[in-house]
Chains A and B, each alone.
Chain A
Amino acid sequence: MDIIYYECKKAFTSPILIALLLLFASYNILLIVSTSDRREELKVANQLAGKYGVGITDDSMNQFREDLQHDLVKLNEITRTDYSEAELDFFTELQLKEKYYEMANDIDNRYDQIDWEQIGESQINMYRFSGSAADTMKNEYIKLSLRFEEMKDNDEHKMWFFAGDPYKMHSFLFRTIFGHVIFESLIIIALAAALITNYEFENRTHLVAYTTTRGRRLMRDKLAASLLTATTVSVFILILTLGTYFAVFDYSHLWGSSISSALNWEYKLPYVSWWNISFSAFLIWSILLVYASMMLFTAIIFSISIFVKNNYFTFFIFAVFFAVALLLPGFIPASTNLIFIAGYNLSQLVMNPHMFLMGNSSGAMMFKNYEWITICAWTIIVVALSYISLRRFRKQDIH
């Protein structure tokens, strides 16, 4: 235990690491605060969920319509032209409410126009899938349309949420904010893991450290310390960033809303998750997926470090590994399933956090079990990799 503490300390007393941590944390806070001008407008969705319940039902829509008409009457009673501040707020709010009403009213209509199998066809054409790859894709889109039908039956998508158009809050939170968190954590984690693992070799104290009783087993402690440091770093950045985010944007009545809410329709297609999950569950799953990825990346960096024993090379090799994995599917012929197998990698996974568990994605990412297969497969690979590197290190000559 003592040893792991000493190893972690090496990372947390590194000025670069601390500086980066603070820099990234403040950057995230700034990023969130600077977009808070929409805060007032966004409150409407939360209010609606509070007042009518988060689910959009016929009853609640009737109630909503009555209230709207009531408000319109009130509006018409205002005849003066020098409006007070409160009256101006009332106008905009009413306008927004009407818009939400129209959107909610239009859900069935819009959803009925979506044909996933046809969307699948156009995807296949767009990415020029052929052969077995095209068959796999077709199958997956058949599954997705079944899922979509199920959704239309159980009305899980009929829940209040911030209007995807124009606010795009899902993308902001899960793509922009999570993307930043992932990228920042990754940089610090890579630095920390390489630093901890190579520390003795970089400082030329390896001859002393690895001839102690602990000996080469010290590397195991270093792996534990790297994982612990990575956990601390990710948790710190996540708590600070998400804490700020939810302090600025009020989700109080929307936690239970569906992540596949029809209102959350941002671009050409609505978000369709493979499972019926709420916003809060999706948030938790996203955090867990990101955390698992970070742990796996840490172990990969650890293994690279054992082989090269130099911080800069470790960092460089890891960057290449990350980029190659990301670009790999683009270099594989689109006629076999190999292209999808290549997509099951951590780089692809963490580059699209807003598409976690979603079917309306593209490539392997849209597959139902993409996330957990990727994590499980890479856990096996990484455990094997760590085991091999530790074994190799145990038998290696240390000069």
Chain B
Amino acid sequence: MIVVKNVSKYYGNFCALNNITLELHNGVYGLLAPNGAGKTTLIKMLATLITPSQGEIVYDGKNIIHMDDEFRALLGYLPQQFGYYNNYSPKQYLLYLAALKGMGRKDSIRIIKELLEKVALSEVGNKKMKKFSGGMIQRVGIAQALLNNPKVLILDEPTAGLDPKERARFRNLLSELARDRLVIVSTHIVSDVESIANEVIMIKHQEVLYKDSVENICNTLAGHVYETTIDYGHLDAFRNRYTVLLEKQESGEMNIRFIHKGAAAEGWLSVTPSLEDVFLYEYRDEIRMEV
């Protein structure tokens, strides 16, 4: 069990995370927040790459910084920018990392073979990585994180660059892995975690907004999400009055999904909120700024 206790991180004067407190058990946690919210910052602290400016992170009651290699022996980590050596093959790279993880050569060779199969890279195991596509590199990254059969698996945007087929395969792999370990997956793609995360953590304004099951998070908007169809001409007025989540053009009219916290008008269809709705609603200011 990992406990993040009142952790803040400053980059100089800039506060990237403020007073974060989290309790994490076995299972999959989806760390869901838009760009720049501090996902990577939190993950780097969990991976001991950076130290909290305030507070501490403990694993089974022990500060992970003091645990040092003892903690990292339990850790599998895929960074957001997964680097590799151009002239190494996946096998060479994984062998090197296995040595750094303190694994014997014989075990490593066997495990690497299994892992490359798991991420569908067996055939290119001996090819130099400079010829690999982004998705292939990312899969080497996933294999690398699993080398030491980690108790704590932290993946920073693992699905970036994966095609839909690989994304699905990856989700299956994750649910399989999550049975007896703690998995943290950061993403800003809702569908990546919606179906597999036991809990979703959302960060807003440098603080934890939600840490709850997908269902509970969706319920925060229960009864407030509607769909309706309006004339194209009324769109601007509508946008000004309500928080529009989704717009879809359909035979000259607009199909609109939106939020309203009050009495419903005629012709509105109340719908079950999805995680995407919550995401779009909560981060509407950040998202609008980006568009």
Please measure, in the bound complex, the distance between the C-alpha atom of A3 and the C-alpha atom of B108, giving whole angstroms: 14
Say which one of B76-84, B157-165, B194-202 lies at the interface with A.
B76-84
B138 in contact (CB, < 8 A): no
A218 in contact (CB, < 8 A): yes
Contacts of B144 on A, CB cut-off 8 Å? 208
**The 4 residue pairs across chains A and B that have the minimum distance between CB atoms:** A204-B83, A212-B100, A207-B79, A205-B83
Contacts of A395 on B, CB cut-off 8 Å? 51
Q: How many residue pairs at the A-B interface have CB separations less than 8 Å?
A: 74
Whether A397 contacts B87 by the Cβ 8 Å rule is no
The digit string for A192-208, where 1 denotes a CB below 8 A from any CB of B, is 00000000100111111
Chain A residues proximal to chain B, CB less than 8 Å = 2-3, 6, 13, 200, 203-215, 217-218, 395, 397-399
Whether B85 contacts A205 by the Cβ 8 Å rule is yes
Whether A211 contacts B48 by the Cβ 8 Å rule is yes
CB A247 to nearest CB in B, in angstroms, measures 37
Whether B102 contacts A204 by the Cβ 8 Å rule is no
Contacts of A207 on B, CB cut-off 8 Å? 44, 47, 49, 77, 79, 81-83
Which of A3, A6, A205 gathers most chain B CB within 10 Å?
A205
**What is the size category of the interface that chain B forms with chain A?**
20 to 34
Contacts of B100 on A, CB cut-off 8 Å? 3, 209, 212-214, 218
Whether B69 contacts A203 by the Cβ 8 Å rule is no
The digit string for B107-143, where 1 denotes a CB below 8 A from any CB of A, is 0000000000000000000000000000000000100
Whether B83 contacts A203 by the Cβ 8 Å rule is yes
Contacts of B148 on A, CB cut-off 8 Å? 213
**Chain A at the B interface: SS class:** helix
B211 in contact (CB, < 8 A): no
Please measure, in the bound complex, the distance between the C-alpha atom of A213 and the C-alpha atom of B67, giving whole angstroms: 11
B73 in contact (CB, < 8 A): yes
Contacts of A206 on B, CB cut-off 8 Å? 83
Contacts of A398 on B, CB cut-off 8 Å? 44, 49-50
Which residue of A has the minimal Cβ distance to B96? A6
B105 in contact (CB, < 8 A): yes
Which residue of B has the minimal Cβ distance to A13? B87
Which residue of B has the minimal Cβ distance to A15? B87
Q: 17 A–B contact pairs at CB < 8 A?
A: A2-B105, A13-B87, A203-B83, A203-B85, A207-B49, A207-B79, A207-B81, A208-B83, A208-B144, A211-B48, A212-B97, A214-B69, A214-B102, A215-B68, A215-B69, A217-B69, A398-B49
